[in-house]
Structures are given as C-alpha cells and as structure tokens.
Amino acid sequence: MKTKKRNKDALWAVLFLAPAVIGLCTFTLYPLLDSLFISFHQWDLFGDMKFIGFQNYVDFFQDATGRKVFINTVVFTLIAVPIQLVMAFFLAVALNQKIRGVRFFRGAYFMPAIASMVSVSIVWQWLFNTDFGMVNYVIELLGGAKLNWLTNPNLSLWTIIIVSCWKGLGYNMVIFLAGLQGIPATYYEAAELDGCTGLARLARITFPLLKPTTLYVSITCVINSMQVFDQVMIITGGGPARSSSVLVQYIYENAFDYYNMGYASALGWILAIFIFVLAAVQFRFMGSDDYSVE
C-alpha cells in the first residue's frame, strides 16, 4: 500500500515538474550545448558547418578588436561594481532608519529597477546630449564647460557606467535593506551599552553579519556588468572608435552582422568561463562561513 502511494506521489511530482524541466532543456540546456558545438565550427548560419577545432578560440587572442572590447568590459566591471556596492549599501543603511517618508524614498530609489533598460537608455541619451542635454546644462550652471559625453572616447564608457549604476542602485539597495533588517536588534542594543556606535558599529556588527548579502550582490553585479549590452547599443553604439564597445555587443555583431556564428559562439563561451572564474574567486575570498561579530 505504501509502495503504491509512493509511486503515485512520484508520478504527480513528475507531472508537475515536467513543464519546467522541458522548458529548461528546450530553451537553456539545448541552446547551451548547441552553442558549444557550433564554437568548434565555421558557420555562416545558412551554409554547411566546417569543423575547425579550437581555431575560433585561438582567433580571439589574435583579434585586436576582440581584445579591446574584452578590456572595455573588464574595466567597466571593475569600476561599476564597487560603485554600485558602496552606494547601495550606504543608501540601504540610510533608509533603514526611522525617518519620515522612508517608504516613499525606498519606492523612489527602487523605481528605476523596474523600468525598461531601453526606455531608460533613450532618456539618458538625451540627458547626455552635448548641445541641449540636462547634464551639460547643470554643468554650465555650476560654471563648467560642456562635455562631449557621447563622442569623446575618454567619456563614452563613463556614460554607460553612470547609467548602469543609476539603474541598478535601487535593486541592490533593496537586497542590502533586506539583509540589514535580518540582523537582530539585540546586537545593536548590546553594542550601544558597550559604547560602540557609528562607524565602529558598522565595522564590527553590520559588515560581518551582512557578508552573505554582500557576496550575493557582488556576484550578481559582476555577472550583470560582464553582460552589459542594451545601454551600450542605444546610448553610444559602442563608439566612438570602439571606446565603449563591450564583449556582448561584439558577440551580437559577429553573429548577426557578420554571420560568423562559430566565432560568436566561442566568444560567448569565453565570456561564460571568465564569469565563472570571477564568481569562483569571489566565493573563495568572500564565501567563508565566519559571520561572527567582534
């Protein structure tokens, strides 16, 4: 009787899991494995595939444009991730206080996170316009000179960094806020009795107990930064002179502009491996189980 009931439960479990498993295999696992297969071939999307082994991977290290966009992606990540982490953390700390209108401010800061990246990028493209953009208007009011945000090779990548940090600030703030509210108040009460307040309380209580949250936010920020695409395509198009071009954009160009599907697939796997290595490094240095307070 028990065996029959277990079999019946197993059947229902399979039936409920089947749609999700089928979807995962069809739209995730199969394309993933197929892209790995394609990366070892030369294929223009229409003709027959030609097996060339690891040549697509070797070509990346000989591709000056590929190296440049990869470096741009790494630079973008190294700048954008720390900015997002620091700003989101201190904003969460500020909005975790008992102040009037705190719910309004939490919602206001989170609003960009639910907006479409396409619409956000279009708005920021106008804001960064050299002649009539609001950013240059404010700079002139403060006594500065207009900046060519979108056409200056030294500034174009910074426009993408600013937009990305502004867009992701609210989401990361909410994650940090959830972590802060999960810290028992008794720790802070005990610290106050010992005379530990202000920055000392942050360093000795908040930082250690918020370590798992910080790890999660940092990993997601790195993954999102390494895959930045929409804002680049809309705001700068990767220009001028590839100064703001990133790896995912280059993958898109090789696949759908040059029809070099094999090379594009190889670039995708190089990016995936690099992200995996970065995540492993973060887990190595931030993923310990020691969350004790001093």
Which pLDDT belongs to residue 175?
A: 95
| Domain-embedded: residue 292 | no
Has residue 10 got a pLDDT over 90?
no
Same domain, 22 and 138: no
Task: Locate 228 and state its tokens.
Answer: 């930045």
| Domain-embedded: residue 159 | yes
Q: Convert the chain into a string of H (helix), E (strand) and C (coil).
A: CHHHHHHHHHHHHHHHHHHHHHHHHHHHHHHHHHHHHHCCEECCCCCCCEECCCHHHHHHHHCHHHHHHHHHHHHHHHHHHHHHHHHHHHHHHHCCCCCCCHHHHHHHHHHHHHCCHHHHHHHHHHHCCCCCCHHHHHHHHCCCCCCCCCCCCCCHHHHHHHHHHHHHHHHHHHHHHHHHHCCCHHHHHHHHHCCCCHHHHHHHHHHHHCHHHHHHHHHHHHHHHHCCCHHHHHHHCCCCCCCCCCHHHHHHHHHHCCCCHHHHHHHHHHHHHHHHHHHHHHHHHHCCCCCCCC
pLDDT in tens, 221-233: 999 999 999 999 9
Enter the pTM of the model. Answer: 0.89
Task: Locate 117 and state its tokens.
Answer: 């990246």
Same domain, 164 and 52: yes
Same domain, 160 and 275: yes
| Domain-embedded: residue 294 | no
Same domain, 63 and 191: yes
Has residue 46 got a pLDDT over 60?
yes
Range of the domain at 27: 1-31
263 and 283 Cβ atoms separated by less than 8 Å: no
pLDDT in tens, 61-117: 999 999 999 999 999 999 999 999 999 999 998 898 888 888 898 999 999 999 999
Same domain, 112 and 231: yes
pLDDT in tens, 173-207: 999 999 988 888 887 777 777 777 677 777 778 88
Cα 78 from Cα 82, distance rounded (Å): 7
Same domain, 50 and 11: no
Same domain, 8 and 65: no
Same domain, 258 and 187: yes
CATH of the domain at 184: 1.10.3720.10
pLDDT in tens, 109-143: 999 999 999 999 999 999 999 888 999 999 999 98
Same domain, 2 and 146: no
Share of the chain above pLDDT 70, in %: 95
Tally of domains within the chain: 2
